Amino acid sequence: MERIFICLTIASLTLISCSSRSEIPAGLTGDWYTVKGDVEVYSFTTENGKGIYLGTIDDRPMVKGTWKVEKGMLVLIPDSEGYASGSSRYSYRISNDTLWLNEGQEIYTKTAPLKYIHPEASILENIRSDFNSLFTEPAEAEFIWPDGTYHGFAIETRSDSLSGLFSGLIQYIQDKGFEPDEKAVSEICNGYKKLYGNDTVIAMICYVQDEEGSPAGLKISAALKK
């Protein structure tokens, strides 16, 4: 009887130990793009059996640390030198390519948004976001640059206060690191460029004219110049 009791005790302790053990589920690893959350991208990786995560905004690290799943909860533990402190625990579920935290308080997807597939579209997406979606969604387009025609993306808007919007966009795009290109300036367009690795992102802000030649809207085009 004593031997049976000891065996049962060992079995119980083993079950308790297994149930409380943390896990690193493979389904959570990879890049998760924000649908609803505080950062733009969460990257979950593993290193020597340890979960490592990094949260970024505009490719800048905002929070990093370790992660694990414990008792069915996703646990994020920021590094002490990060911007956040203290661990966070989330209920989570994965459906198709979507990660739901705390029943939808935060939502992430593995489907990369356009601006991550085509970096030239990033400035257009940022303009749409920061100018209250006055502009259309980015669509494939071609536009003329001094050294040729480039295929990229464009957004458009119609507005009654175009001059103020035009000047605001000029200031905005330069604040984002774009420099004016004197060769890409005309009566209705201003061209800008920005280094992107070994390539250059070029952007053109132009007035859209109506049939009478009067300004009726704005069009912003961007392409990757290799």
**Final residue belonging to a domain, choices 92, 109, 126:** 109
Please state the three-class secondary structure of the chain as a single string. CHHHHHHHHHHHHHHHHHHHCCECCHHHCEEEEEEECCCCEEEEEEECCEEEEEEEECCEEEEEEEEEEECCEEEEEECCCCCCCCCEEEEEEEECCEEEEHHHCEEEECCCCHHHHCHHHHHHHHHHHHCCCCCCCCEEEEEEECCEEEEEEEEEECCCCHHHHHHHHHHHHHHCCCEEEEEEECCCEEEEEEEECCEEEEEEEEEEECCCCCEEEEEEEEEEEC
Cα–Cα distance list, 117 to 57, 76, 120, 122, 177 (Å): 16, 27, 9, 9, 20
118 and 216 co-located in one domain = yes
pLDDT at residue 59, as a whole number: 80
Q: Of 82, 109, 136, which residue constitutes the final position of a domain?
A: 109
Is pTM beyond 0.75 here?
no
Same domain, 32 and 104: yes
pLDDT higher than 70, residue 177: yes
Q: Are residues 202 and 131 in the same domain?
A: yes
Average pLDDT, the chain: 87
Six-digit token string for 200: 């250059």
Same domain for 150 and 101:
no
Residues 215 and 134 in one domain: yes
The pLDDT confidence band at residue 116, using thresholds 50, 70 and 90, is confident
Whether residue 58 is found in the same domain as residue 160: no
Cα gap 99→101, rounded to integer Å? 7
Question: 49: Cβ–Cβ under 8 A, 6 or more apart, which residues?
Answer: 24
User: Given this model, what pLDDT does residue 82 score?
Assistant: 47
Residue 52 inside a domain? The answer is yes
80, 109, 138 — which closes off a domain?
A: 109
The C-alpha atoms of residue 222 and residue 202 are separated, in whole angstroms, by 6
Lowest mean pLDDT among 4-18, 47-61, 127-141, 173-187: 4-18
Structural domains in the chain (count) = 2
Q: Is residue 11 part of a domain?
A: no
Can you read off the two tokens belonging to residue 224? 């990757």
Q: Could you list the residue range(s) of the whole structural domain that residue 200 is in?
A: 114-225
Higher pLDDT, 208 or 211: 208
Can you tell me the mean pLDDT for 23-29?
91
Q: How far is residue 51's CA from residue 25's CA, in Å, rounded to a whole number?
A: 9
- Say yes or no to pLDDT of 157 above 90: yes
User: Average pLDDT in the 79-103 region?
Assistant: 85
pLDDT higher at 84 or 48: 48
